[in-house]
Structure 1
């Protein structure tokens, strides 16, 4: 009888140890995964000039991205530029003034997407735009920390074009020694959580976008 009671008393302890082990293992996995994510983001660099593409797409969120994308268009790195996720209150003229771009170039070669509300929408709009223009290869301009999630979302749309990432590194997010600032670290942690949600959604087919905290990238934002 006593032996039976002793065996029964061990089960709660065993379960507690198993739970503790699972928590520690999950924590180690998340920490290791974040370290790899942050390292991959820090190692991102702009492709060489030879990476000419059919078109260019920029995911809005700040003038730095827009200026870089328009500069690539001027340099002939793509025939047209799609600005995806533009605020409905932002006109083509406002973009021209904000980036110091002549309206002739905007009217000629720049398309504005007002429909995309998040990165999923950006990916869908990009795929439609590429198909409409017969573009098979695109330069994707967005902030460096946003590149991994953008590529994941692009892989989830039907018949996606080939994507060449063109990262833009926000100055306030990185120190000169290559380490993230406090703001940059917080943003990287948030973005890593979003990447995990996207991976889970793509793997299971379950829409977890409401848990990802995805935000609408807008021209009016200046932080990234």
Structure 2
């Protein structure tokens, strides 16, 4: 009898493991497909401001270009290294320092994507902005949108993805480096979804407890 139970439990464990692996694999394929399908918004699209999440010169260069084109009134560069000055960024991007002095804000506080989301929302609130262009790498867009959406009072976000050339092959498939990066990012996205769901459940439980006490 015990032998049968053990075999049944083993079969069940194998089935659950197989189903879980298939679910994760399917989710990763959908994630990679969605990232590959990301496209920049139409040229005529306007926003109140522009936010660049640091992580590569390509992102900052594109953000500066959008600011010059008048796609937003101000630009926030979030997650800047504390040893990096506005003058250094102006030189790196070949930008007139006057543009930085006029219309570029540097955020030295954010240390990760959660911090980026919080600082982006705070910056938008301080300037009265309700719609922002978000410039970051294509693989980073899904997690960035999740984190910003999880901040109370977050503005409307229009993603402006930047595609790193070394991550994608000419035929549209990810390179080896790109595949590893997508897998890592997918795991982070799952972690963010789990954390946000847990926070929502805890908030709902707290509201239920308060309502129960008041009744």
TM-score (norm 1): 0.88
- Cα deviation per residue 1:163-213 (whole Å; 9 max; x = unaligned)? 00000000110011100111100100000000000000000129xxxxxxx
Q: How does 1:56-205 map onto structure 2 within 5 Å?
A: 56-205=50-199
CA distance in 2, matches of 1:133, 1:73: 16
CA distance in 2, matches of 1:85, 1:27: 35
Helix, strand or coil at the partner of 1:115: coil
Moved more, 129-138 or 43-52: 43-52
Helix, strand or coil at the partner of 2:134: strand
**1:32 corresponding residue in structure 2:** 26
**1:43 corresponding residue in structure 2:** 37
Q: Which runs of 4+ in 1 moved over 6 A?
A: none
Q: Aligned-pair distance for 1:49?
A: 1.3
Helix, strand or coil at the partner of 2:160: strand
**Higher relative helix content:** 2
CA distance in 1, matches of 2:134, 2:147: 12
* Highest RCO, 1 vs 2 (Cα 8 Å, sep ≥ 6): 1
CA distance in 2, matches of 1:56, 1:166: 10
TM-score (norm 2): 0.92
**1:21 corresponding residue in structure 2:** 15
Task: Give the gaps of 5 or more residues in structure 2.
Answer: 201-215
Task: Give the gaps of 5 or more residues in structure 1.
Answer: 1-6, 207-224
Helix, strand or coil at the partner of 1:205: helix
